[in-house]
Every structure is written in structure tokens, then in C-alpha cells.
Amino acid sequence: MSTNTRRLVECVPNFSEGKDPAKIKEIVSAIESVNGIQLMGVDPGSDTHRTVVTFIGSPEAVAEAAFRGIAKAAEVIDMRSHKGAHPRMGATDVCPFVPVEGVSMQECVEIARLVGARVGKELQIPVYLYEEAASRPERSNLADIRRGEYEGFARKIKEPQWKPDFGPSELNLRAGATVIGAREFLVAYNINLNSTDKQHATEIAFELREKGRVGRTGNTKPFYFKGKKLVYAEGQFPCASCDHVAKSLEEAASHCNSDHGYDLLKLLEANEVELPEVLGKNAYKPGIFQACKAIGWYVDDYKRAQISINLTRPSLTPPHLVFEEARQLAAQRGLRVTGSEVVGLIPLESLLASGRFYLEKQGKSVGIPTQDILSAAVVSLGLNEVAPFDISKKVLGYSEPKPQALIQMKVSDFTNEVSRESPAPGGGSIAALGGALCAALASMVANLTHGKEGTETKDPQLEEIADEAQKLKHELLSAVDDDTNAFSAFMDARRLPQSTPEEKALRTAKMQEGLKLAIEVPWQTAQASFRAMELASKCVELGNPNSLTDGAVGVQVGFTGVQGGVWNVLINLKSIKDEPYCQTKRTQSVEILARAKNLLATVSAEVDKKLGI
């Protein structure tokens, strides 16, 4: 109901430091030194030796904060001594910009290019652009750019096809190289296993991720790596550097990711080894989910293996579907998924979708408060298992009312505030509250009736009523404060100076704007309250007979919202000079008030008859 002109960009830089709190604090402080930045999260991991920082702000503020964070990371992190479980290529490994509100993807692309050019020039760090900001298609995928990691980049950067987009064409030995880009919102999501074996997580990750796993066509006999040749083995994969014997190609590749030998799978993919023709060809077996990247690792802090997942399009592949599939794949291997964690932030709609999914599986109504749906998701996904999950801090788009908001007051305090001599909060706020209570009662009756014996044919309609009523309740609660704020805007305009003709003209224009705002808020209150009345009347018809009067009271207080809203529209129209606007609003007000009166009379007569009045 209130207008919103915010322009927000999210930035999620990943820094190659997860063990030293002092260094992490220096980087975060550099980011927070920019005015207008809101720090949303700092997630360090000692095993991955990596910290994910999340912050939002205006495009200009975010661009400056990102540069300062990258500069400070280059100052305090020395990649020459860095080791961690997560792939990385620089002190600031990756720095994406994500459109959140009022900002286009193209604007985020421009931010990425501006910051990248500055990092390359001022810090002398090689910069590669990725995802939507990529300078060429083969650089879109972060994994392709990062392949070889820090240790292999001194050689890789010399290859013509890997010339950086910005900065020097040689590795900055201290800071490494950095990938900067623009992308859609990504959910960094880890699934926990009741195992300490990294290979268990890797096996499931290969099944889940879009890329799938390497398979073989042609001759599929087992082989192992020795020198620069692949040699056949009889049903086993011995390491060329130690006594370890793997039972699968994936296990051999995982083992060789350590200091023993080479990364077998990467060498196979890149054709960098001498391949006997009889071996056949590599082929990928596609994974289950699109827009899903996954690897397995062991986290010593939690004493367990995790499936580490990036969901690059959470609307297409939501966390709960991946979680459920992982549970089945784990069970097939004698394992159990014990919970999960979100690194950084998750969009409100993604977590709401998860909550609705589990409520529906339980046969419960989803027409309940947003907080309750989110809590259902947190419990069902086990998001509190390895670290506390704070909805107010972890869910992007979820906002609790400000502490000073009227609807945050106790009922007694709000009533006392209304009773004071100040003109606001007044009738408009009370009307909105009446409409909100109507919607709340409609939802209550629908939920009380839903899922009971004999209501099977009604349940779909009852669930729709409860769901819509919750949305109306939220809208009308916002209007309680919006009405007071709108009146305050008019009063502020009245206080403007009027010493000169120009000042008088400006004051008049601002007063007219304030009056129209003071009209639009109660008009929307009237509309939402009437719809809440309709839902409550449906509950009188469909609801549990024992809740008859609850639905009827909802209709009664909803009428207060309609009539109060209309009265506040009409009293302010007399000061509006725009006659066509006034005529339209008068006609609309008369129509909706007549419909509300008719509905109230119909429901009241029906309830009175049932009660024997």
C-alpha cells in the first residue's frame, strides 16, 4: 500500500580467510566504512578457510564497499600460504553483484565492470568477469574460470585465451586473481550427513548437480594414473603416490585432489594425459537438478560431511526439493540427512515455498502467518542443526515492523495513544485495524474447519480463503501505520514557508499531494476491508457451526474498515482541487459502501435467524 522507490543491490564477496577473526574483521570494517551499507551476514568457515560476506545498499554504495573490501583482503591475505577445502584463486575469490530492488541486471553488469576495471588498475590484481557480466561465453561459468585454482594460475594466465579482462596478465602472487560479475540471486545451501566421510557427500553431490558425473563409453575397464599414462587395474584404483586403493573412479579422483598425484578427473576432462585408445571416451551422466552445482566436503567444525550446493535459480530448483532428493539418495547408501544450512541469505519466497511444501505434505493449511510458514520451513529443513538460523537476519525480503510502529504496541498502549489529544492515530488507523481483525477472523475460522472429518469437499476453498485472508491481514496492518504517516505528510506540507509567491505555490502543491496520499490510503483500506468481509461471510457459510459468530463478528468489524475508510476519503475530498479525481472517488466510495451495507445486512439476518433472534 505504501510506495517504494528504493534501489538495492546485494553483494556477496567470498574472501579466502576463515580462520583469523582479526583479518575478517578488518575486511568487514572496510566494507562497513561506506555510508548506506547494510551488513546482512558474515559466515566464516575454518575448514574451507573462506568467509562469505553479504551486504546490500544503493548501487553506488555497494560498488565502493566492494572495492574497499577487495583492497583490504589483498592487504591482509597472502595466498602463497593459503590452503582450504573450498576451490579458490585469490584473496577475494569471487565478488558477484545481484539486483534486489529497483535495479536491473544490466545495471549490476555495469557495476561489475566498473569495479573490475578499478581493481585491475588500482590494485594490480587480474580480474575475470563472469555470469551476466562475462566478456565471452566460455567465461560465464565460475568453475571454468577457477579451474587450476591459485596454484595453477601462474601458468594459466599466460595462455592467450585466459588473458584477464582487467589488470595485469600475470598472477599477483600475494592476492591471486579475482572473479567479478553479476548474477541472479544464488542460494548457497549445504546438506548435512551423519557421516564424516567426504566421499559419501561427493557421491550424492554428483547425483544432484546438473553437471552430473563422469561416466565412460566404450571400454570401461578400470585403470589408474601412473606417470603420464593411464594403466589398467583389475577392479581397483591404486594411487600412484601411496598405498591407497580406491573402489571407484570418483574415489580415486577425490583422493588425488590431495597432495598425492594429480586431479585425475580434471586431467581426463582436459585430455592432458596419454589415453590408450582402447579406454573408450569420457561421457557425463546428467544429474537430477537444473541450475544446481554441488560438491562434497568434510567440515571439521561440525565433525561431519556436507553436500555443498549452489542453487543458481532457486525459483526453478528450490532447496526443499534438493533436500528431499538428498534424503532418498542418502538412505539408499545407508546414510541419513540430519539437517541443512544456508550460507549467507535466502530469498523470502524461496523459504516460504519450502514452508508451504511441508505444510501441504502434512495436510495443513498454508493460510497462516508468514512467521509460522517460515518456522515450518526452518524445522523441516533442519536449518538450526549446525548453527542458529535467525529468520530476521537470514531471509532477504523479510522485515519485521519497526519497534516504534503502532502495530508493535501492546493493545493497551495503542488504545492510550489513540485517546491522546494528537490527531493521529485516528479514525483511519482504527478502520484499517478493523479490516485486519476481520481478515484474521476469516483465516481463523477457515483453518479451524479445514482438515476435519467431513470437510474434504470444502478444504480447497477453505485453504484459499485462509491464504488470501492472511495477505489482506498483512496489508491492512501496514495501513494502520500508513494512514498515520500519510496524515503526517500533509501536516509537514502545511508547515512549509509561504513568504514568497514561489514558496506559496510549492506549499500548495505539496499539500495537494499530501491530501491525495491521505485519500489513497483509506481508499485502499476500504477495498481490502470489503474483500475481507466477503471472505468472512464465506466462513459463515462454510465454516464449523461452532464458529458461526466468529465469522459474523469478522463481517461486522470489516464493515467498520469499509465505512471508516470511505468516510476518511470523503472528508478529505473537499480540500482537493482536482474535480475529475474527486468525482471518481465519490462514485467509487458510494458504490463500495452500498455493497458493504448489503453484505452486512445479509449476514446479520442469516446469523440472527440461526441464533433465534
pLDDT value for 101: 80
460, with CB counted inside 10 A (0-12, 13-18, 19+), is: exposed
Domains and CATH numbers, the chain: 8-182 (3.30.990.10), 213-285 (no CATH), 289-396 (3.30.70.670), 406-611 (1.20.120.680)
Structural contact between residues 329 and 208, judged by C-beta atoms closer than 8 angstroms? yes
Q: What is the pLDDT averaged over residues 566-577? A: 90
Q: Work out the mean pLDDT of the chain and round it to a whole number.
A: 87
What's the pLDDT tens digit per position in 497-519?
888 888 888 888 888 887 887 88
pLDDT value for 279: 43
Rounded Cα distance between 192 and 190, Å, is: 7
Rounded Cα distance between 31 and 23, Å, is: 13
pLDDT value for 131: 93
Q: Hey, what's the cell of 349?
A: 519466497
- Residue 321's pLDDT band (cuts 50, 70, 90): very high
**What are the φ and ψ backbone dihedral angles of 375, each rounded to 5 degrees?**
-65, -35
Per-residue pLDDT at 47 exceeds 80: yes
Rounded Cα distance between 307 and 208, Å, is: 9
Q: What is the pLDDT averaged over residues 140-147? A: 90
Per-residue pLDDT at 218 exceeds 70: no
Per-residue pLDDT at 444 exceeds 90: yes
Q: What is the pLDDT averaged over residues 143-149? A: 90
Angle CA(397)–CA(401)–CA(404) in degrees, nearest 5?
145
Q: Is the model more confident about 393 or about 382?
A: 382
Residue 158 CB neighbour total at 10 angstroms: 12
Q: Is the model more confident about 75 or about 397?
A: 75
3-class secondary-structure state, position 250:
helix
3-class secondary-structure state, position 262:
coil
Per-residue pLDDT at 225 exceeds 70: no
Q: What is the pLDDT averaged over residues 439-447? A: 96
Q: What is the pLDDT averaged over residues 126-144? A: 93
What's the pLDDT tens digit per position in 262-271?
344 444 444 4
pLDDT value for 454: 87
Q: How many CA atoms lie within 13 A of 417 on its CB side?
A: 20
What's the pLDDT tens digit per position in 584-599?
999 999 999 999 999 9
Q: What is the pLDDT averaged over residues 541-565? A: 95
- Residue 396's pLDDT band (cuts 50, 70, 90): confident
Q: Is the model more confident about 493 or about 303?
A: 303
- Residue 4's pLDDT band (cuts 50, 70, 90): very low
- Residue 284's pLDDT band (cuts 50, 70, 90): low
pLDDT value for 400: 77
- Residue 250's pLDDT band (cuts 50, 70, 90): low
pLDDT value for 397: 78
3-class secondary-structure state, position 209:
coil
- Residue 5's pLDDT band (cuts 50, 70, 90): low
pLDDT value for 275: 44
Tell me which residues are annotated as active site: 86, 483
Rounded Cα distance between 262 and 241, Å, is: 10
What's the pLDDT tens digit per position in 524-537?
999 999 999 999 99
- Alpha helices, DSSP H, located in 495-543: 501-542
Per-residue pLDDT at 442 exceeds 90: yes
Q: What is the pLDDT averaged over residues 46-66? A: 94
Rounded Cα distance between 354 and 389, Å, is: 15
pLDDT value for 243: 54
Rounded Cα distance between 543 and 444, Å, is: 10
Q: What is the pLDDT averaged over residues 484-490? A: 73
Per-residue pLDDT at 327 exceeds 90: yes
pLDDT value for 334: 95
Provide the percentage of residues in the chain whose pLDDT is more than 90.
66
Q: What is the pLDDT averaged over residues 372-378? A: 97
Q: Hey, what's the cell of 176?
A: 591471486
Q: Is the model more confident about 567 or about 248?
A: 567
Q: What is the pLDDT averaged over residues 157-175? A: 94
Rounded Cα distance between 596 and 240, Å, is: 82
Closest CA to 316 of 417, 210, 212: 210
pLDDT value for 124: 97
- Residue 42's pLDDT band (cuts 50, 70, 90): very high
